[in-house]
Structure 1
């Protein structure tokens, strides 16, 4: 499916937040990296579960049995989306909570003097759980540096950073700020050569790129449903071989088998229903005989559309003197997430101006990629402005953003 045939108008019809309203001027949502709008299918699935009778698990009555099946179908859905095994999928409050829980469980795998490798480009949710683990166990933390000119990881230093003492490598598949897609295949291969566990943060990648967990060969992967048109729900994928060994903190009577043993307490059943609804929406953009095929081809179509749309913005922003665009070179794979600053202007003030004058949702700040923000010295003026595209964004919206930015420049940079 090509960009020219991807039906943007019909895509928008799936999103209640995009429908005209007499109550307020329509929003233009460029804040997808912080969370996309929810597809109607996700909303309907949540309401249907709630209105059809909510229940807890493992009962002898119909609503409980339906909830049991809902969780299993949720695992099967994510297995199709990420090409993993259903028993490798666990649900939780969010990626951060799941990462801290798994980090605590990995304590026995880390000994004093061992090394944990994280990166300067990552969201802190894929840094601090492992830094905390290292602190608790007396391990050493090393950082893969980000290149301040290309906004890519300096992987030429990886051979020096990886040693026989390296026990865990945590890296994002894509930056939630610059959109840089990390060549994780090479990192995984080199980490496995020293027998290190590999953790992938796919929270920003999952809405934009097709992902194949089995082909990648990582040990742990995280993503979040609210980044791909669903509700607030965290998802962890843990390879069965590691998952079976993972000594999780749990209540004594709770299940000890995978993946249930990681799911402490009662799960957010209605959110899992919404997750399935979001996957149903994504399927509508793909082709194929099975759900897995439709999800895969849909994500390929989404990436194709978004790459072309992002290029329109990238070329525009690169040619505006007051703008500094934080974007990797053209030969680097990227998501449609673009970060920039405006000379001498606080990003908070600029974001407020876009909201007040054009009803545009454009985020500002460090976006929890605080190590990179500190290194690039963007915090003095409120961090970055970040514009992120989703399949429901139109070329007309992009053109309106260009008009708005030119108007802002005209007002704030007059001679």
Structure 2
């Protein structure tokens, strides 16, 4: 589990936020949005300086810009392992992309159809489906959490399924609980119970910064994540299988004359941010650098492929694991602290998004204490409003309100053991 200090140092050298001449707080608010490597910043700046033109024209600069956007889609297909199974759409946020997707199903679903929504979802993948059910008169069921174990049991999900189930909306990792859902198993179970026409829509926002996305392996119909939480610009990406896109191809939100066969363009209303797309594409260089750091420059001379993605995220997991293990061990040693989520630090079942409450102190009080020590974090419901409401109503948060919520410490691979030590020293004084 031991990772050299030099490994962390080499990673942080890619991020301007961590330059020694800057007096920024220790950053443990990564689940809200990560820091960005210099290569992404430079790509956005260079595009706006040198290539800021419209797409699709005959002049050379427009051709280059058009190719850049196509290359960004190709990069994301490799990143998500989607090359042979589906298409990828770009958008401004996960919330917007899921809202557009749910609206597309308004003309597809029929009276009597059912939608199942996981209670532990971020509202981005809950609210649009709830609204769709209300407006369309479709049946809505919630896959509820166990407030004692903090689990969403697949057995409980099975009880909700029926031949009328058409949409199952889940979160791959809760942005509060940190638990990794066995998405491959879930998809298999849902398809076996209902049939191939049911669509599983997975929110991967809290998963994507920590583990390699593999939509082909999981068999999921729709998968969405936010690039600004994965070291990129404030955008998002939605994968859909060819069958899933084909089902809604005539319902895409873009203009009526955009061919429905062009899935990406049909669902990119007004077009994707060009400069943002240039930044997303530049993430390929950072991932190659990460892979090379772990494997002693093996990946520096080759092109970007799936092997690079998997090597980069193996490095990410290796860097994160000591941080997760140490902080969870510290919190478990405090008798008045309750970890909201799994207390295990196994990389197979959780990521280092760690939430907790105190039996007598409010989450707001604890976070103010942390911030005074120069550490950035937060408390609240983190837009997992339905989840936190359920935990408050069941007494799992010891009287905390929905807005007070939980204390969330969200770490990623560029955080360090030293930063975790600073946090624990700070928490020791209040917990």
Fold agreement, TM-score > 0.5: yes
The alpha-carbon distance between structure 1 residues 74 and 5, as it changes in their structure 2 partners (threshold 3 A), is farther
Q: Which residue number corresponds to residue 255 of structure 2? A: 251
Question: Considering only aligned residues, what root-mean-square deviation do their CA atoms show, in Å?
Answer: 1.9
CA separation of 1:124 and 1:20: change in aligned 2, threshold 3 A: same
Q: Distance in 2 between matches of 1:339 and 1:329?
A: 10
Aligned-partner Cα distance in 2 for 1:300–1:385: 28
Tell me how far apart the structure 1 counterparts of residues 16 and 28 of structure 2 sit (CA, whole Å).
16
Question: What residue number does 1:341 align with?
Answer: 357
Task: Give the structure 1 partner of residue 237 of structure 2.
Answer: 235
What SS class does the counterpart of residue 284 from structure 1 fall into? helix
Q: 1:382 aligns with which of 395, 401, 404?
A: 404
The alignment's TM-score, normalised by the length of structure 1, stands at 0.93
- For 1:276, the equivalent position in structure 2 comes to 281
> Residue 202 of structure 2 contacts residue 222 of structure 2 at CA under 8 Å; is this kept in 1?
yes
Structure 1 pair 188–34 and aligned structure 2 pair: CA distance change class (3 A)? same
Shift, 1:21, TM fit? 2.9
Q: How far is 1:201 from its partner?
A: 0.4
Aligned pair 1:367/2:358, yes or no? no
Contiguous gaps of at least 5 residues in structure 1? 410-415
Of 42, 45, 49 in structure 2, the residue corresponding to residue 44 of structure 1 is 42
- State the match for 1:403 in structure 2: 425
Say if 1:206 and 1:223, in contact at 8 Å, map to a contact too. Answer: yes
Q: Secondary structure at the match of 2:429?
A: helix
User: CA offsets, 1:22-69, max 9 Å, x none?
Assistant: 6xx331000111110011111011011011130111011122111111
Query: In structure 2, how many angstroms separate the alpha carbons of the residues matched to 1:27 and 1:279?
Result: 28
Out of 2-11 and 292-301, give the one that drifted further: 2-11
Secondary structure, aligned partner of 1:387 = strand
Partner of 1:226: 228
Structure 2: gaps of 5 or more residues: 293-298
Aligned-residue offset at 1:218: 1.0
Distance across 2 between alignment mates of 1:293 and 1:140? 43
5 and 403 in structure 1: CA distance in 2 versus 1, 3 angstrom threshold:
closer
Structure 2 CA distance for aligned equivalents of residues 186 and 88 of structure 1: 23
Matched, 1:32 2:33: no
- In structure 1, the residue matched to 2:296 is none
- Say which is worse superposed, 203-212 or 132-141, in terms of deviation: 132-141
- What is the DSSP-based 3-state SS (H/G/I as helix, E as strand, rest coil) of the residue aligned with 1:204? coil
Distance between the aligned counterparts of 1:364 and 1:155, measured in 2? 29
Partner of 1:209 in structure 2?
Answer: 211
Separation in 1 of the partners of 2:343 and 2:17?
Answer: 34
- CA distance in 2 between counterparts of 1:250 and 1:230 reads 25
| Structure-1 separation of matches of 2:15 and 2:96 | 28
| Equivalent in the alignment of 1:413 | none
Q: TM-score, normalised by structure 2?
A: 0.90
Aligned counterpart for 1:198 among listed residues 197, 200, 203:
200
Further displaced range: 165-174 or 130-139: 130-139
State how 1:1-400 maps to structure 2 within 5 Å: 3-4=3-4, 7-21=7-21, 25-85=23-83, 88-193=87-192, 194-195=194-195, 196-246=198-248, 247-256=251-260, 257-286=262-291, 288=299, 289-291=302-304, 292-330=306-344, 333-356=349-372, 358-377=373-392, 378=397, 379-380=400-401, 382-400=404-422
Query: What does the per-residue CA deviation read over 1:288-315, in whole Å, with 9 as the maximum and x for residues that have no partner?
Result: 5542211111112212332332011101
SS of 1:179's partner is: coil
For residues 290 and 5 of structure 1, the distance between their equivalents in structure 2, rounded to whole angstroms, comes to: 28
